Structure 1
Amino acid sequence: MITVYGSKMCPDCVACEANFEHYNVEYQFRDIMADLRNLKKFLIYRDTMPEVFDRLIKIHDIGIPACVTEDGQVFTDWESYLKNQGLEPIAVNAAPACSIDHKGC
């Protein structure tokens, strides 16, 4: 089972969830905007795993969706995860992700 930390307002998170549903990936979605306990857990991962999140922080990305496997592996590139499983990510009609300059919001 994969735990996905994200937000229903995030197009990347919506696409991740839709793909996991489409391919029957066993996961649970933890909305960081709906429950502060989920936000706190996500921030612990983000603040203690520079190898996963530093690149994203440098480009002013939040780092969601953040996927955590049962054995504690954390990844943010869900598309590569699917490709490594022999699956091709499907296109999802979601608004482009927001950036710090508000382009694509």
Structure 2
Amino acid sequence: MITVYGMPSCPDCETVEKEIRGNENFRFVDIGSHVGKMKEFLRLRDKNPAFDEAKKNGYIGIPCFLREDGSVTLSAEDVGL
């Protein structure tokens, strides 16, 4: 299962969330719904080089796609969307 970190208030995340709705291969985590979910995302973001460009340009780095093998991408196309 691919975990998608995002927030419904983010237009790109909203689009992805609608696209994956009902697809059991994906799970959407709303990082704004609980501080624990935000911390989970920030631990990933702080340590993973996939976010380097986003951080350099002042972006949050969502939507973020965490694959089952632990790899991360910020590209929906990379996960078949």
Q: TM range, normalised to the smaller chain?
A: 0.7 to 0.9
Q: In percent, how many aligned pairs have the same letter?
A: 41
- How far the C-alpha of 1:25 sits from its partner, in A, is 5.9
TM-score of the two chains, using structure 2 as the length reference: 0.87
TM-score of the two chains, using structure 1 as the length reference: 0.69
Q: Which is strand-richer, 1 or 2?
A: 2
- Aligned CA distance change for structure 1 residues 20 and 8 (closer, same or farther; 3 Å): same
Partner of 2:13: 13
Structure 1: gaps (5+ residues): 83-88, 90-105
Partner of 1:34: 33
Structure 2: gaps (5+ residues): none
- How far the C-alpha of 1:67 sits from its partner, in A, is 1.0
Distance 1:70 1:40 in 2: 19
Greater relative CO, 1 or 2 (CA 8 Å, sep 6+)? 2
Q: Which is helix-richer, 1 or 2?
A: 2
Larger Rg computed on CA atoms? 1
Distance 1:74 1:13 in 2: 16
Distance 1:73 1:17 in 2: 20
Structure 1 segments (4+ residues) deviating >3 Å = none
Question: Counterpart of 1:73 in structure 2: which amino acid?
Answer: S
- Aligned CA distance change for structure 1 residues 25 and 76 (closer, same or farther; 3 Å): farther
Alpha-carbon RMSD across the aligned residues, in angstroms, is: 1.7
Among 35, 51, 65, the alignment partner of 1:67 is: 65
> Could you tell me whether the CA contact under 8 Å between 2:64 and 2:74 is conserved in 1?
yes
- How far the C-alpha of 1:76 sits from its partner, in A, is 0.9
How many residues matched?
Answer: 81
